[in-house]
Amino acid sequence: MTTPLLERISIWQLFVLVFLFQVGSAIVVGAGAADAKQDLWIAELMGCSIGLVLVLIYVYILRLKPGSSLYDILSVTFGRWLATLFAVLYILYFFYIAGRVLRDFTELLIIDVLPETPLEIVTLLFILTVIYMVYMGMEVLGRMSETFVPYFITFVLLITLFLIAGQDIKLENLLPVLGDGWDPVMKVVFPELITFPYGETVVLMVIMAHTTHPGYMPLTALLATILSGAVLSYHSGLMVAVLGGDMVARSTFPLLSVVREISIANFIERLDALVVFIMMVGIFVKVSLFFYGGLKGLEFLTRIPYRHFVLPCGLMVGFLSIIIAGNFAEHIEEGVEIVPVFLHVPFQIIIPVLMLAVLLIQRWRQRRVKRHGFRRTLQKWK
Amino acid sequence: MSVVTGMAIDAGEIKKYKLTVEVINSPELNQKKGGTAAPAIVYWREGDTIAELAQKMNTGMTRELIFSHMRLLVISLDVAREGLFDFFDYMERSREVRNDFEIVLARKSSAADVLQITYPVQKVPSMKLNTQMQTLKEEWGGDPDIRLEDMVISLMSPGREPIMSIVRIRGSSEQGKSTGNMEKVSPDAFVFVDGLGVFREDKYVGSLPVEDIPYVLLADNKLKQTVISAACKEGVKEKFTVDLKETGAKIKMSVKNDIPQIELSVEVEGQLDGTECPDDLSKKNIYQSYESRIETVLAQRLKSVIERVQSKYGSDIFGFGEEMNRQHHSYFKKVKGRWNVLFSKAAVSVKVNAKLRRAGLVTNTFKAVQKKEG
Amino acid sequence: MDSGERYRSGSDRPLTGSLEECRREFNELFGETKDLRLEELQIGQKQAMLCYLLTITDAQLLTQRVLQPIGQLPSDQSVAGTDELEMLCARMLGGSAHIIIQTNQDAVQKMLEGYSVIFIEGVGAAVAVFTEGGGQRGIQEPTTQTIVKGPKDGFVEDLRTNLSLLRKRIRNHKLRIETFTIGTDTGTNVCLVYMKSIANEGIVDEARKRLSDIHTNAIFETGNIEEFIADKTLTPFPTVYSTERPDAVSAHLVSGKAAILVDGTPFAITLPTVFNDFMVAPEDYYQSFLMGSFLRFIRYLSFMFALMLPSLYVSVITYHHELIPTPLLISVIAQREGVPFPAVVEAFLMEVTFEILREAGVRMPRAVGGTISIVGGLVIGQAAVEAGIISNTMVIVVALTAISSFVAPYYIFSISSRLLRFGLIVLGGVFGLYGVFLGLMVMVGHLCSLRSFGVPYLAPIAPFILKDQKDIFFRLPVWASKLRPQMLKPAGAVKQQESESPSPPPMYPSEGKSKRKGDPS
């Protein structure tokens, strides 16, 4: 119990985790709608295809050093001191984003479902559940997401079904395609849609190395990313088709507004509260993974099993998510303007790319030394 | 808690608005316990914003009000003339207010009165009106089925102006307010649909007669089903009636000399409901002649409605501007500020393609047989 | 094979052959207990002593197996040493279960197990012959797991009968039975049963180890064993499956599980156990797979109902009225008009009442059982509604919940939903659906963390095992499942190689089809 135990998750679990992680909060928040409007689905597709490159970089780094996680690779590439610094930064980053994602959800909950409940209570309950699950470990989290993913997918499909049955989908709302050219689309693609959610997959570098079949890991991660890109793009298209681009742009939580449209036979209607709770699964996975990523960093720095940190750090993340912003507008503004540029880009793009570069140089050198050494031995031989 | 089923907004005497809410008296609606007491309770209060008033209703009512099951919102013409922006924001923002209630205008009476006219079958006035409008839409296409979200979209979009059904009270509204109204075969007061309110921006500018509503909907491709009558032949008095079951409209927009060209092509399909003419309905060519009659009449009426709206109100209630935006985005972007002016100048052409599919349980009318034998 | 903690009494000195000494020692050990019989005999030339406990010995067996053979011995038979005793036994007692024992201690042990022990003067060994008898119940239909179609026999309190029921079902040399004697006070026989080369060796070893590690004074029921060997006891979910149906145990054995039977109880436990086992009734396999699958669905549904219905009702009524369609809401509100409690208190009240009723119904002597339903159903249910204390809807909710909780084919399993239900009601009453869903998440997390003998409790759902899905939510026809459950990591995975649908072949068999069926040519 005292030694840090290595937990392995199955390939299917990894797939589910990556999928829920990426779809989790992105499907609720509707990032980028304000500018892209009816072309949001194109923007999502672009974001996904560029995000795919990022994910490719992450898995490639992991493949270069099989079996080691983000923190191990940091220390291999940057040396002890720099690695420690980066690790500390990553830990803070992960905890902060965990808090942000949590706040996204608690705000949604209070706005739409529980207006009377204080933010603190909602947050505390959620974070306690996260603490319990993370304490149980990665395997348990993996299995839990496996259990819930069918419900998640069923509900996501049901939304479409109900919308079709209620004749709410007006495909002409998607027109005109690219009416204002590529500019508004590209504006949201970088950095907003690339970093959120695809770039955030960087935290999965902590767990992706430990799977039962490491050989399948890269393919799994990429397929899951493609699937979530498809789901996100499809849903932004759906939102626009139901509400129209302007409404989507104005809506705080477009998917919820869409679900509020559902009304079949005056009986199947008002489903938004239910949808909130189904979406909770995705948020839960996302918060837990970020939290776990940070905890693993602490474990790496201190060499103490992460379970010792779960409770205090968990409460800290909860607290952070409350004080992060004074009101909802501040929270969203930070999320759209500050976080992507000043946090996401360095941690999701710059450092990993640096890591990859260092690793490639190291490998090239090793090979040269090998070849060189071989030639030397040849010479000696002569 | 008390369930609010209806809301009425009138202009206040002292303050800006007078909000009336109708909550149901739930034990009265219980099938076992229900008696003859009032099915709903109405309370009003004046104030400056609707959002504030909605929270203040407990000055007169006992329980916590929940607005999530609201069925009807009635707005008086006076308020509609002043503009809707002020309170639609509250409605859209509120998590409790849903998107599934009817919005109507009240003509010739206060909006509050509409909320109080009882009806024997569906005792709660707002529930009655809600069901009535739904059925009307399904059966005859007489209600544009405007919901909160549609209102917001048309208020927001430069290429579309809002419309709303208008209701009126027939009979004495004072007697209609008592439960006694529910006990009569011919109730003292009735609420009926009386026309379509046309808006420009968020302000009421005038109305169209109820007969025009299906054509307005058809031009917007929103019609489910309606009935049309036409003379059997040009210049004949006898008419036939066709139930149009399937309707569809395609709009093609173009611009010529800065004048928008609207090409509306409509396809309808239906079955004969009745005829007064002694035509042999087992013949194909009779069907064809009926079809062409429908086409002419329908095109004529569509055109007249659109032209009337163009000349009288200059307000694009059909959403042609939205269509223009989809088809000629860059052009519309330039003119969206003055779209209504362009709309009123637009050239409209209507093409109808009608299909008569079947003619009910009999072929020839007995009139035709009578004539042959006689 | 004996192992594990054993009842030890008497000295472990080898037998000396002195009858006097034996008699003295036995009298000392057993005291003046009434059922101890120490009878003098003559075997050939020698004095002998027959010792047994009257209460657990079958007189007829004793006569047949011991007294008659001894009587037929020639009077000049000599029994001098151990070797000769063994030969004599082989001739005299050939065929009946007997054991040569060397120590006094073993002799005592064997007597307690129902053997009759014969000591012969001057011989340093004794022979124990199996003559167990005593009261036992005949095989009857199981009372806790009744089925309509299928075998009607159930385990009884006698271990040997139970084992015979298993043996008769599985006529296979691979069926292994290992016995353990557990309990310093009761010395209970416990059997570990498994199928060699089908069951996973690791699981069997683990079970063996855990059984040997039990140090306790008394075992009366498998429940006692259960708590010693279960992976985690702080859980409302059972992690071993206990049943009194031999057909269920046999089915589990051939699917690669191990079973533990305890002398003195009709309940056997099988392990490892996963969540889905509790949703399966043996009857699923005895009727059409369509019906079997449908019933599975009903069971999962009723588990959900039993777990969540009251809490969902409470939270929706208290916090989320908008989820209820208007007409329904109106009628619910109309009913709740005048109910003096908030919904959560109402639900709690009714649930507790129901639990009391249920417990009373179970514990009551059967003769007065009918009173319960009258008092409970009529007086409390109807009167409470009439008096306006409880709303009609709440009665419907509680009744549906109660009935759903009885659907579980395995009675003990409903404990989990009964306990968790109360927690969820509180969460629902305080935090609404949010609380209920978080509660569910914690529950699922807890389920995911459970293991039974190394097998994850939610397998094969989480971790997902595709090959095992054919017998989880649906039961596919028997011919469609070629493998034993993979989650148990069985040593022999294939259960039927050449299984095919019995439907007639197509009229014009195409080449592809015949190839697909694995024709080697």
pLDDT tens digits along B66-94? 888 898 999 999 999 988 888 888 888 88
pLDDT tens, C284-332?
A: 888 888 988 999 999 999 999 999 999 999 999 888 888 888 888 888 8
Q: Which two tokens stand for residue C325?
A: 């369609």
C326/B26 Cβ within 8 A: no
Name the pLDDT band for C260 (thresholds 50, 70, 90).
Answer: very high
Q: Are A93 and A253 in contact (CB under 8 A)?
A: no
Q: How many helices (H) and strands (E) does chain A have?
A: 16, 2
pLDDT, one tens digit per residue, over A4-39 is: 456 788 899 999 999 999 998 888 887 777 777 888
Q: How many other β-carbons are positioned within 10 Å of the β-carbon of residue C471?
A: 22
- pLDDT at B306 (0 to 100): 92
Read off the pLDDT of residues C430-475 as tens digits, 9 standing for 90 and up.
998 999 999 999 999 999 988 888 888 988 888 888 888 888 888 8
List, in order, residues 6 or more apart from C370 with CB less than 8 Å away: none
Radius of gyration of chain A (CA): 22
**Rounded Cα gap, residues B188 and A168, in angstroms:** 39
Residues of A with Cβ-Cβ distance to C435 under 8 angstroms: 125
Position C509 scores a pLDDT of 57
Residue range A335-355, pLDDT digits in tens: 888 888 888 888 888 999 999
Average pLDDT of the segment spanning B124-145:
88
Cβ neighbours of C330 in B, within 8 Å: 3, 24, 26, 29
Mean per-residue pLDDT over chain A, rounded: 86
Q: Helix, strand, coil shares of chain C as percentages rounded to 5?
A: 50, 15, 40
pLDDT in tens, A304-319: 888 899 999 999 999 9
Q: Does C430 reach chain A within 8 Å, measured CB to CB? A: no
SS3 category, B162: coil
List chain A domain ranges. 5-381
Mean predicted confidence (pLDDT) in C379-384: 76
Burial of C233 (0-12, 13-18, 19+ CB in 10 A): exposed
B274 contacts B240 by C-beta, under 8 angstroms: yes
Query: What residue ranges in B159-258 does DSSP mark as E strands?
Result: 163-171, 189-200, 203-208, 226-231, 239-256
Task: Give the pLDDT band (50/70/90) at residue A379.
Answer: low
Across the range C364-368, mean pLDDT stands at 74
Q: How many angstroms away from the CA of A129 is the closest CA of chain B?
A: 27
Residue A2 has pLDDT above 80, yes or no: no
Residues in a beta bridge with C43: C46
The 10s digit of each residue's pLDDT in C77-94 is 777 777 777 787 777 777
Residue C516 has pLDDT above 60, yes or no: no
pLDDT at C3 over 50: no
Determine contact: A113 vs chain C, CB below 8 A.
yes
- B132-137 average pLDDT score: 89
Q: Which residues contact C283 (CB under 8 A, 6 or more apart)?
A: C147, C148, C149, C150, C292
User: What's the pLDDT band for C9 if we cut at 50, 70, 90?
Assistant: low
Count of Cβ atoms closer than 10 Å to residue A94 Cβ: 26
What percentage of chain C carries pLDDT values higher than 70? 93
Taking the CB of residue C80, how many other CB atoms lie within 10 A of it? 12
What is the average pLDDT across A84-97? 93
A155 close to A258: Cβ distance less than 8 angstroms = no
| Confidence band for B361, pLDDT divided at 50, 70 and 90 | confident
A175 touches B: beta carbon within 8 Å: yes
Is there a contact between B100 and A172 if contact means CB atoms under 8 Å apart? no
pLDDT of res. C513: 46
- Give the nearest chain B residue to C338 (CA atoms): B27
Region B139-153 average pLDDT:
87
User: Which residues in chain B touch residue A175, judged by CB atoms under 8 angstroms apart?
Assistant: 326-327
Distance, CA of B138 to CA of B130 (rounded, Å): 13
CB C213 within 8 A of CB C392: no
pLDDT tops 60 at residue C36: yes
Q: For residue C484, what pLDDT is reported?
A: 84
Please say whether the beta carbons of C421 and C400 come within 8 A.
Answer: no
What pLDDT digit, counting tens, does each position of A205-260 carry?
Answer: 888 888 888 888 899 999 999 999 999 999 888 988 988 888 888 888 888 888 88
Q: How confident is the model at residue C105 (pLDDT cuts 50, 70, 90)?
A: confident
- Give me the amino acid identity at A216: Y
Chain A's closest residue to C427, CA to CA, is: A125
The pTM (predicted TM-score) of the whole model is 0.86
Q: How close A204 gets to chain C, by Cα (Å)?
A: 19
State the pLDDT at residue A102.
Answer: 92
Q: Which of B7, B324, B305 is nearest to B159 (CA)?
A: B324
Ranked by mean pLDDT, the top range of A27-31, C159-163, C490-494 is: C159-163
Q: Which fold has domain A5-381?
A: Amino acid/polyamine transporter I (1.20.1740)
Residues of chain C found within 8 Å of residue B5, distances taken between Cβ atoms: 326
Contact B24 C337 (CB under 8 A): no
pLDDT at residue C2 tops 60: no
**Domain ranges across chain C:** 19-130, 159-273, 289-455
What's the gap in Å between the CA of A340 and the closest CA on chain C?
A: 30
Query: Following DSSP, what letter does each residue of B79-137 receive, concatenated?
Result: HHHH-SHHHHHHHHH-SSS-S--EEEEEESS-HHHHTT---SSS-SHHHHHHHHHHHHH
**Set of chain C residues whose Cβ sits within 8 Å of the Cβ of B69:** 321-322, 326, 329
What's the complex ipTM? Answer: 0.89
CB within 8 Å: B68 and C337: no
CB pairs under 8 A between B and C: 35
Task: Give me the pLDDT at residue B374, please.
Answer: 56
Separation between Cα atoms, residue A16 and residue A23, nearest integer Å: 10
Band (A284; pLDDT cuts 50, 70, 90): very high
User: How confident is the model at residue C249, as a pLDDT?
Assistant: 93
Contact B69 C321 (CB under 8 A): yes
